Amino acid sequence: MRVMAVGVFDLLHAGHLHYLEQAKALGDHLTVVVAHDDTVRIRKHEPVTNHDLRRRMVEGLKPVDEAIIGNSPDVSIYDILPKVDPDIIALGYDQEHAEDAIKHKLQDLGHRKITVTRVAGLSDDLDGTRKIIARILELSQNKA
């Protein structure tokens, strides 16, 4: 079974590793789609590291078989599916994707064999990039 995971992966942390371990456990081959810098800028924030470096870092993680850079925001996110050819799309516990909307869009596009599943989160208070940055800022202010 081929699994696809997606994300920004800016400042890799334990939450990312947990997500990818959970995704890999769903199949034999894990392809990770790392968000394009322009997509990150539009949907989240200015990335700390560029997509080429983020792809290299993600690809170096043990559960990952392949990491690719996602489409720019002017291309449908679903256009990458023929390249990856997943059986399963694994969503992170905190990703704001609506599972039902993705399932319906996959159906509409003729990708009936792809299942969508959400993996469990990591029970750690520093399981997200923004949480880590906030903690660093808090610690630096306490020292001042």
Give CA–CA dist 137/53, Å, rounded. Answer: 24
Cα–Cα distance list, 140 to 47, 49, 134, 135, 136 (Å):
21, 21, 10, 9, 6
pLDDT band at residue 112, thresholds of 50, 70 and 90? confident
pLDDT band for position 84 (cuts 50, 70, 90): very high
Q: Give residue 57's pLDDT.
A: 97
pLDDT at res. 94: 78
Q: What does the DSSP 8-state code read for residue 77?
A: G
- The per-residue pLDDT for 33 is 98
Whole-prediction pTM: 0.86
Q: Are 36 and 72 in contact (CB under 8 A)?
A: yes
Decide which of 142 and 103 is more confident: 103
Domains and CATH numbers, the chain: 2-143 (3.40.50.620)
